[in-house]
Structure formats: C-alpha cells, structure tokens
Structure 1
C-alpha cells in the first residue's frame, strides 16, 4: 500500500524555487505590460497619418484617442472583482488574447466607426491586466517588499512608451500603420501562450514563507498583526462607502490626466508646435518616456525604503505619490512661457519622470489600504478614477487645440490637476479601509 508523504513544512521549502519563479512571473508581467502599452500607443504614433487618411479634425482624433479610455475606465470596475473571484491566471489569459485580437482586427478597418469600435474593445479587454499584476504581487510578495515588483510591472508601460515612438514609427514607415497593428497584436498572442504555460499560484508552504516575511516587518515597525485581522469583510460595492476610496479616485484622476496628454498628444505636439518631422519625432518623443522608466522604479524603491525604516505603509507610499505630483506640476506649468525647444523638452522629461514616481506605488497603496480579499477590487476602482482623467485628456486637448490652436492651456490645466492629485492623496487619504469611517 502506498504511503502518504507528509506535507512540507515552511522550513523545508528552499528559497530558490520561490524566488526564481516569482521573479520570473514578474518578468513575464513586465513583458505583458510592454505589449499592453504598445497596443495603446500605436494609435498615438499613427495620429497624424490616420487623421490624414480618414480626414479627421483634432477634436475627432481626440475622440478616437479616447475611444480606448472610456471603456477601459468603466471596465476596471468589474475587472477588479473578476480578478478577485477567478484569479490572475484565467483573467490575464482571456484579457491578453482578446486585446491582441482587437489590435489585429483594427488593421482591417476602413471606416472611422469601425476603428472606434475596435479601440473600445481594446479598452474593455485590457482592463484586467494591472489588477491581475496587483493580485500576483499580493499573493507572491510580502507587504514590505511589494513596492519594487509592482513598480517593475508598471515600468513595462514606460518601457513601451520609450520604445514606441522609434519602434512603431519604423514599423509604420516600413509596413504601413496597418502592418504595425498586426505585428503588435501577434506579439500579444505569444505572451498569452507563455503565461498560460508558466503561471501558478504559490503553494501553502510558499505562502507561509511570505507571511513570515510580513510578520518580521510588522514586528520591526511596531505594528500589530491584529490591526485588520478582525475587520469585517467588505463586498465590492461597500468599498465606495469609505472616504479613502473616493480620495484615491480623485487623486488618481488628477495625476493620470497629464500622463495621458503625454501618451496621446506628445508626438503631435512635437510635430505641430516644435516643428519636428515624423522621423525626428519618433526619437525625440522617447526621451520623456525613458525618464519615466527611472521614475516608476525610483518611486517603488523610495516607498519600500521608508517601510523598512519603520514608517507605516500608507505614509511610505504617499511620499513618492505626493512629491512626484508636485514636481510634475512645477515642471509642466512653465512650458507655455518657454521659447527654447531644448528647455521645453527638458521640462517635459522632468515632468513625465515626476508623474511616474507615483505610478507603481499607487497600485501598491491599494494593497496596503484594502483587505486582502478586496485588493484587486480597490486597485481597479482607483484605476477607474485615473482613467476617467485619462479619457478626458485627449478629448479636452483636441478641443483646446481646435479652439486656441495651441497646447498652452493644456499644460496649465494639467499642472492644476496634478496639484489636485497631490492634495487628495497627501492631505485627505489617511487610513486603511478597515479603519476608515463608513
């Protein structure tokens, strides 16, 4: 008769398998984020080309650029709940397969309305990605070490933004904008297949190792583990009863507006206001986004540093969020009054770097604020607020361009909203959900 092997104790599990696998998963999510954002960026790169082909005004192009963003913002609400319910493996698989298909189908559209519909489908299908990544870091990493992996995943968006202008411009010039869309879509399908093969949730023993890391960090910071253990479990809708949820929505709204002005209109700004050619724009537009890569990683490192020093998690996350938003506002506000192209690009780069300091930390903050079973839900609700701002950015920018012929008011509006974001996170967001007042 076969004998049953005893379950392994936490001590019998070596660090090597857990460390190797969990960072391999983060690397795969990083690649997924790169492809995810290349799918979003392709329309921005082809902005002037598609506008000329379809005969679009700046306002019409602004509406097309936002066609992804409105469905994405709204779909984030159920996406977070779905990730909490079905887990990151299933949701990322379905999401990446659907968004890649939408990108490929976009290449075969021949009318404005069809292209608009494909961008809406892209928005819905991409909504579970970052909530899936948040759930992965919540499952595989202790609270005191989540800042870096979450920031690494979010760095993928900045890597994509940095390589998108030169890479997608070259693809567009060699295989037309339609070929560029197909190329990016096929890469997404490959990522989906790899994810389906590689990802798994941590075992019981691996979970104990992770909990042990949290216990040590909490003890060192003087925290009580029972702080949230006895809190009542909230359902999805009850999260909206907490003030913390609303301040996260408002704060992310203010920050994301300016980020998406960069993501949707920067190539056009460089061509129309700075006089660069399409080929020159492909390289110059990448400079702010390279700075953004550094900003995302630095934000995560800063927040984790303060946690290791004994500062509570919420305050530690707020340092790069609030500081980054203020620095970004101070950088973009002077641009309308600068005549030098070089100085303008420097300010744009500093502004984007600063606006990305909060990027990964904002997601990690959701894991610190929410009860464990509601992490993805709260992260998605916060992202919903951010992408309401993101959805308004291209439309408002297009309207301002059509009415004033200049980006000046766009930068001033963006600076004001960044300060709103800093105020909401810095002054009004104070407590985890379990302590917030209903």
Structure 2
C-alpha cells in the first residue's frame, strides 16, 4: 500500500473519531438548551406557586443571560489554558447541579441563584466545541462539524414545548428540572468515557497536551482586541444573537396577542421556525465547506460568503412580518427568516477557528460569544420597550432586520484576515 493511501486511511480514522466527539457535543448542546428553556415552559406554574409578579418573573427569565455572557470571557481563557477536557467536565457537572438545585428550590432567591449558576456553568460549552473541531477536522470538514454541534439549540427549542410540557403535566415542574439535571450527568459520563487526546497512536500530529500548555501562562486579550477582525466578529455576532433571542423570548407572545392564535396552536406554531433552524444550521456549515473543497475558496472567504448571503436574505424576509395581514403568512416569513438566520450559527464558531491562532481559538470564540450574548441580553428588553411605547410589533421586526444588516456588513466588509500574533514577552 502506498504512503499516500496509508496517510489517507489514518486521516479518515481521525475524522471518524472526531464525529464521535461531535455527536456527544450535539447531545450535550440539546441538554444545554433544554436547561435554558425549561423555565419558560414552567413559568406560569412557578409564578403561581411562588406568587411571582410579572416584573420579577421577567428578571428570573433573564437571570442566566448576563452571567452567561460575561462568563464567556474567563471560560475562553480557561479552555485555552487547561484544555477542553477539564473545563467541559467541570462545566457539565456544575450546570447539572444548578438544574437539580432549581428543582429543589423553596424560595424565589434560591431559584434565581440557581439560574445565575446555570448561566456561568454553561458558558464554556460552545467554546470547547470550537476547540474540538479545530483539532479533529480540517478546513474542508470543520464547518459542517461545528454546525452539527450548533444544531443543538434549534433541536432543543423545537422539542421543548411538546416534550417538557408532557413531563410538566405528568410529573410536575420540579421533576422536570431534576430529570434534566440527571441527564446532564449522562453528558459528563459520555464525555469522560469517549474523549481522547489522539484518534490514533500512529497519527503524527502536534502533541496536543504540550501545544495546549506551551506558552499558555499569559494571554493578553489586548492583542486580540486591537485587531479589527475581533471587533468585526463581536459586532456581527451581537446582531445575530439579538435576533435569535427575539425569536426565543417573544415569538409565542407575538403569535398569541398580535395574531390571535389559541394557546395550544401558539405552542405548535412557535416550534416551526426552530424546526427550520435544524435544517439551516448544518446547511450553513455544509455550504461553507463546499466552497472550500469544491470551489477553492479560502476558509475565511467561504464562511463569510455563506454568512453574508444568508443574513441579508433573513433581513429581507423578517422586516415585513408584522405588516402582512395573514397570520399564516407571518408564520411562513418567520420560518424562512429563521432558516436563513440560523445558517450562520455554526459558521461564526468555525470562523473563530479559522481566524485565531490555535492556542487562542477558545479566547476569540469566547470574546465573539460574549458580545453576541450582550445582544441576547438586551433583545427581550428592547422588544418589550418597543411594544410598550408603540403598542405594536411593527418596529420589533424592523429593528431585527436592521441588526441582521449590521451583522452582514461587519462580517462581510471588516473581517478580512487571520489574526497573527507573535510570541512576544508579556503577550502570550
């Protein structure tokens, strides 16, 4: 057998093992997001039991978002410094404990604290996912692999209403939280059982452990923040996550109050866009890989091309949602809009692996996600203010469309090249 064939077979085995890790991460992503949205499913029941007014309930809904956003920053640094195996293990254990604790909460303050802890603990998840795909996949496959991990949120948001509602009705909200907390430990078990530093002892690769620990003592984020590519990714992701959380928090209310659908029908209609997202996320990753493998695009150009086209298409479809007369047509537009706006979900994380040096993938991904979830944090608030001041949803979707346009411009125009950092004293 020729040397070429031997190397090709080894590479295939390496990629195949990488897909095992991606499968575990996908399962973890679904659990991760079910832990986030379980509160919205049980919100009415919990507010009644604890006698929580709407303002305090709104604070409870947003309790995890700002801690999650801020915690991305140390999470990225920790993942780069100590490696994804340790950080992911600790994260899954802590977020499972937080979900369990919520199920046993006796007071509003204890429930609120558990949600804050959940936000902190879930911050490293997608950062670790980006580091996994950076190590185990080349440019031709990394976009799809990263996007598969990022299918977790739309899958969770699509199945949460029917699945968690059945559990809630059958066993109560506390059992729902406890059950999800126990499933989190299954993610930890799978991770510890199947995680490997190397896919094959014969593969001649850079020693991962040494590459993680080499020069990881001091990482100056000032160097990253001085680079225009970092700011382009931060501003771009701010707009993308803003729109995602408009869907996540206000879509059911919009369908019920503005379009007049029944509560039962609203539950099912609100899930339709997220089912479209299950298609959109991997499609975005696949197309960006296709442009690299079949059309010879450079990685950054390939990711940007798919992202910009998808985001512009989403902005065009979302803007008129509130202005069409037909409720059914508005759902169709929302679904198509979410299909397009979900295509960049995996692409933005893949961009972090394309743009950053390998030892700073976690850090750059964390900075990008931190900025994104600042957008996610203010999205429900701004939406509420618009509705309160105008009495309609018209501007809600116009603002969402504008956010998407801003994202397209910043990623498309200002993200131009890789970040190259020299090993200088005090820098790394």
Instruction: Specify the alignment match of 1:252 in structure 2.
Output: 237
The equivalent residue for 1:180 is 176
Structure 1 partner of 2:156: 160
- Of residues 111, 114, 118, the one that matches 2:114 is 118
1:54–1:112: 8 Å Cα contact kept in structure 2? yes
2: CA distance between counterparts of 1:20 and 1:365?
22
In the alignment, the residues of structure 2 paired with residue 269 and residue 67 of structure 1 have an alpha-carbon distance, to the nearest angstrom, of: 22
Q: CA deviation at 1:209?
A: 6.9
Residue in structure 2 matching 1:335, options 316, 321, 338: 321
Aligned to 1:318: 304
Equivalent residue of 2:76, what SS? helix
Answering whether residue 131 of structure 2 is matched by residue 135 of structure 1, we say yes
- Secondary structure at 2:73's aligned position in 1? helix
Q: Distance in 1 between matches of 2:366 and 2:202?
A: 26
Q: Aligned in 2, Cα 1:112/1:429: closer, same or farther, shift over 3 Å?
A: same
Quote how far apart the aligned CAs of 1:279 are. 3.3
C-alpha distance in structure 2 between counterparts of 1:114 and 1:404, whole Å: 36
Q: CA deviation at 1:60?
A: 4.1
Q: TM-score if structure 1 supplies the norm length?
A: 0.86
Report which stretch shifted further, 405-414 or 26-35: 405-414
Correspondences of 1:88-237 after superposition (within 5 Å): 88-202=84-198, 208=204, 235-237=220-222
Q: In structure 2, do the counterparts of structure 1 residues 401 and 51 end up closer, same or farther at CA, with 3 Å as the change threshold?
A: farther
Residue 378 of structure 1 pairs with residue 364 of structure 2: yes
Tell me, yes or no, if the aligned pair for 1:62 and 1:397 is still in contact at 8 Å: no
Distance 1:328 1:166 in 2: 27
CA distance in 2 between counterparts of 1:207 and 1:430 reads: 33
SS of 2:151's equivalent?
A: helix
- Alignment correspondent of 2:287: 302
1:397: how far off? 2.5
Q: How many residues align?
A: 408
Q: Which segment is superposed worse, 393-402 or 94-103?
A: 393-402
2:83 counterpart of 1:87: yes
In the alignment, the residues of structure 1 paired with residue 203 and residue 379 of structure 2 have an alpha-carbon distance, to the nearest angstrom, of: 41
Do the aligned residues in 2 keep the contact of 1:236 with 1:374 (CA within 8 Å)?
no
- Asked whether the equivalents of residues 45 and 165 of structure 1 are also in contact (C-alpha less than 8 Å), the reply is yes
RMSD, aligned α-carbons:
2.6
1:109 counterpart SS class: coil
- Over 3 Å counting, the alpha-carbon distance change for 1:335 and 1:54 in structure 2 is farther
Unmatched 5+ residue regions in structure 1?
Answer: 1-9, 212-232
Deviates more, 1:63-72 or 1:345-354: 63-72
